Amino acid sequence: MRLTPSPAEVRELVANAFEDLGVAIFDSSGLKETIVIDDGRYVARSYRADGYMAMWLIGVGIVQLYDDEGNMLRTINLLLELKLQRMVA
């Protein structure tokens, strides 16, 4: 069983979370995505749209969303969120 969500699942989740916050995104391809490498290790992905930013901390399994001033708005536990989405589907 795969415990880590796929990048496509997280990208879609982030796009939906941004839209819930009023950020205009037509689909997940409207996000600017960056892979974060630290000391040669893949540790995170960041997503940006309209001044807002989300950071997927891979090792922790969470996504944190920030507004255009850097204030943290929300934290999403990916294991719980994606499990609930799969149960509903």
Dihedral of alpha carbons 25, 75, 3, 82, sign: negative
Q: Which residues of 17-26 are buried (b: 16+ CB within 10 A; e: fewer)?
A: bbeeeebebe
**Its pTM surpasses 0.75:** yes
The predicted pLDDT at position 81 comes to 73
Helix (H, G, I), strand (E, B) or coil at 80: helix
The predicted pLDDT at position 1 comes to 39
Distance CA 66, CA 75 (A): 9
Domain ranges of the chain: 7-77
Q: Give yes or no for residue 29 having a pLDDT over 90.
A: no
Q: Which one has a higher pLDDT value, 67 or 30?
A: 67
Residue 64 is given by DSSP the state E
Q: Which one has a higher pLDDT value, 24 or 37?
A: 37
- What tens digit of pLDDT does each residue of 40-87 get? 999 999 999 989 999 999 999 999 999 999 999 999 999 887 665 555
